[in-house]
Structure formats: C-alpha cells, structure tokens
Amino acid sequence: MSKVLTNTFSSLSRNQIANKLAKKYGLKFGASRFVAGDNISDAVKHVRALNNNGMAAMLNYLGEFVTSEEEADLATENCIRTLDAINKYGLDCNLTVKPTSLGLDLDKEVTLTNLKKILDVAKEYDNFVRVEMEDYSHCQVTLEIFKELKAEYDNVGTVLQAYLYRTEKDIDDLNRYNANLRLVKGAYNEPPNIAFPNKAEVDESYEAIIKTHLLNGNYAGVASHDPKIIREVIKFTKENNISKGQFEFQMLYGIRPELQRKLAENGYKMRVYVPYGIDWFGYFMRRLAERPENVSFVLKNTIKK
Ligand code: FDA
C-alpha cells in the first residue's frame, strides 16, 4: 500500500496540469505545514522566527516545469528579490534553487546566465547560493553547470544524492573543486539501473559519502531527518576531530522541528529549508511520497475545509 501511495504522489508531483491548477488556487490540503507561504513577507517571518531560535535558514522560491524563457526570467527575478529581502532584513539565511526553475529544460546556457545574475547579487551581499539536484535526467548537466560556476564564484554549492550509483565517483571528482556540498539520500523515483533500490543500501551509501567528503576536508550540509544518520555524524566528527564549523545539519521546514531545536541548542549549525511561492504542488507531493503517513494529516485538513 505504502509503495502504491509513494508512486501515486511521485507521479502527481510531475503532473503539469495538477501543478498549473494548484498555482491558481493557492496553498491547499494542509500544504502550509511544509510551505512557508506564497509570498516573500510570509517567508521572511518564518525565517526570522527560526533565527530567533538559534537556527539558520535557506529560502527556496518554489518553481518547476518552466517552459519558456519568460518564466525562467521571472524565477530569476524572484530569486534576486529573495536575496534583497534577506539582506534588507539582516537574516541568517542563504538561497537554494532548482536549476529547472531557471530554464534547465530549455537550455543550459539560459540557466547558466540566470545563475550568474543571481550569484552576482549574492556576492554583493556576501551570501551563498546552492544549486539543487533534481531527477537523474538533469544530474550530469547540473554538475557541469556547477563546475563552470565554481571557476568564477566562491559562493556557490550543489547537492549530491546517495541513492545514485555514480555519486561515489562524483564525490571524488568534486573534491578537486573543494565543493561545498549538500548531501542527501535522494527524493526522486529512480530505476534500479541507476539508483540503489533498497533503503538499507541508500543509507549505507549516504553514511559513506558524508564521511568521505568530510575527511577530504570539505564543507558538508548533512540534509536528513534520520536520527541514526545524525547520531553517526556527531560520533564520527568527534572521533575524527572535525570541527562543528566544517558542517551543518539541514532539515526541511515542518519536519522534526523538535530535533532541529535540540541540535541548535547543542551548538550544531542547524539550517532549515524554507520553501515559499505559488508553485507549491510538486514540492508538497514529494514530501507526501517520502512519507505516506502524512496523508492522514492531509485528509484531516481537506475534511476541515
Ligand atoms: P528517511 O527518508 O530515511 O527518513 C528518516 C525519518 O525522517 C523518517 O523516519 C521520518 O521520521 C522523517 N521524515 C522523512 N521525510 C519525512 C516527511 N516527508 N514527512 C515527515 N517526516 C519525514 N533531495 C534531492 O533529491 N535533491 C535535493 O536537492 C534535496 N534537497 C534537500 C534539502 C534538505 C534540507 C533536505 C532535508 C532534504 C533534501 N532532499 C533533496 C530530500 C532528500 O533526498 C530525502 O528525500 C529526504 O530528506 C528524506 O530522507 P531522510 O534523509 O530524511 O531520511
């Protein structure tokens, strides 16, 4: 049953008609548990509250399925406005962005140009931008873009996914760039010829890439809600004298807030991923696909309305 629900939510997340309809009708079905609002003022409020509780944040202006340069330009403008707001309100917060929202399905060069516009503004504000990793079909081109950007900018990072077989090699390759990497298990439904099909194998690969990346002396964003992984990272960094300044924990807005607070109280850098904007549907469906137990929560919210 759980597998059926996971597949259903995964395919809904990619359904362009559902995504377009959702944009029109605003946050529904309890999506506000995971999405901080549809405008920048709401997002700023949530980030400020996190900062007041000793946590950093990263803002993501939600967007996927961009099919024209105009839409990609608009997303770029919204990213720049987000950086402006972070600077204006003095927030402890950086920016995280999906390359398809900036035109990756249209053209690599368009995406590069848009990312450079964003990175120029971020540099002016002494801020940092992370280029996220989406499904496998975008993996190679995203890494090429990251490497091109890294030759010009210090304030850029990207993401590697533990479920892909190729990631072990990518960790070694990106070591040459001293890459600041967010490391995740992986959120997309990938076939067994490119990704580990079993959770235990993904978890094992995840631990391994985190350790390699840290031992290589690079900065890691350990992006997971898995208490076992978090305990292991704490133990490993203590045993290997890796300072708390070389990594941060990252979690999604609305997931395990008590663990987020506890880590911050214990002196670990805790950065919360705060998504906002009208294009909330695909993101929300992926959160349900990760944990179909959230469906009962959605149903309760739907019935209440
Ligand atoms: P796992 O799935 O094993 O879950 C461990 C525990 O966490 C669960 O038992 C549950 O308690 C809790 N949990 C996890 N997901 C939950 C949910 N949706 N609702 C409620 N509880 C939940 N992926 C990607 O492919 N590209 C990317 O760029 C990113 N970026 C990113 C940023 C940040 C800050 C985070 C935290 C995650 C991502 N991801 C991502 C998603 C990531 O790949 C992965 O799908 C999720 O983090 C779930 O995996 P966990 O490591 O949390 O472990």
**Residue 161 Cβ < 6 Å to ligand 1:** yes
Q: Name residue 274's beta-bridge partners.
A: 59
Pocket residue to mutate for ligand 1, from 291, 297, 298, most atoms within 8 A of Cβ: 291
Residue 92 lies in a domain: no
Cα 150 versus chain centre, distance: 19
Indicate which CATH number applies to the domain containing 152: 3.20.20.220
Give the tokens for residue 90. Answer: 């003095």
Nearest ligand 1 atom to alpha carbon 272:
34
Give the tokens for residue 80. Answer: 């720049």
Residue 205 lies in a domain: yes
Mind listing the pLDDT tens digit for each residue in 44-53? 999 999 999 9
Judge if 145 and 203 occupy the same domain. yes
pLDDT of amino acid 299: 55
Judge if 202 and 250 occupy the same domain. yes
Mind listing the pLDDT tens digit for each residue in 163-204? 999 999 999 999 999 999 999 999 998 999 999 999 999 999
Judge if 131 and 262 occupy the same domain. yes
Rounded CA gap, 99 and 108, in Å? Answer: 9
Judge if 221 and 292 occupy the same domain. no
pLDDT of amino acid 35: 86
Nearest ligand 1 atom to alpha carbon 163:
43
Residue 274 lies in a domain: no
**Residue 75 Cβ < 6 Å to ligand 1:** no
Residue 83 lies in a domain: no
Domain extent for 128? 64-76+97-267
**Residue 13 Cβ < 6 Å to ligand 1:** no
Total of domains in the chain: 2
Residue 86 lies in a domain: no
Judge if 25 and 111 occupy the same domain. no
Judge if 137 and 258 occupy the same domain. yes
Mind listing the pLDDT tens digit for each residue in 70-98? 999 999 999 999 999 999 999 999 999 99
Among the listed residues 143, 148, 82, 144, the one whose alpha carbon sits nearest the alpha carbon of residue 118: 82
pLDDT of amino acid 32: 73
- Please give the average pLDDT of every successive group of 10 residues along the chain, which has 305 residues: 70 67 62 82 96 98 86 96 98 97 96 98 98 97 98 98 98 97 95 97 98 98 97 98 98 94 98 89 74 62 44
Q: Please give the model's pTM, rounded to 2 decimal places.
A: 0.91
Rounded CA gap, 114 and 116, in Å? Answer: 5
Contact 263, 285 (CB under 8 A): no
Output the CA 186–ligand 1 centroid distance in Å.
8
Rounded CA gap, 56 and 37, in Å? Answer: 18
Output the CA 251–ligand 1 centroid distance in Å.
8
Output the CA 151–ligand 1 centroid distance in Å.
30
Residue 1 lies in a domain: yes
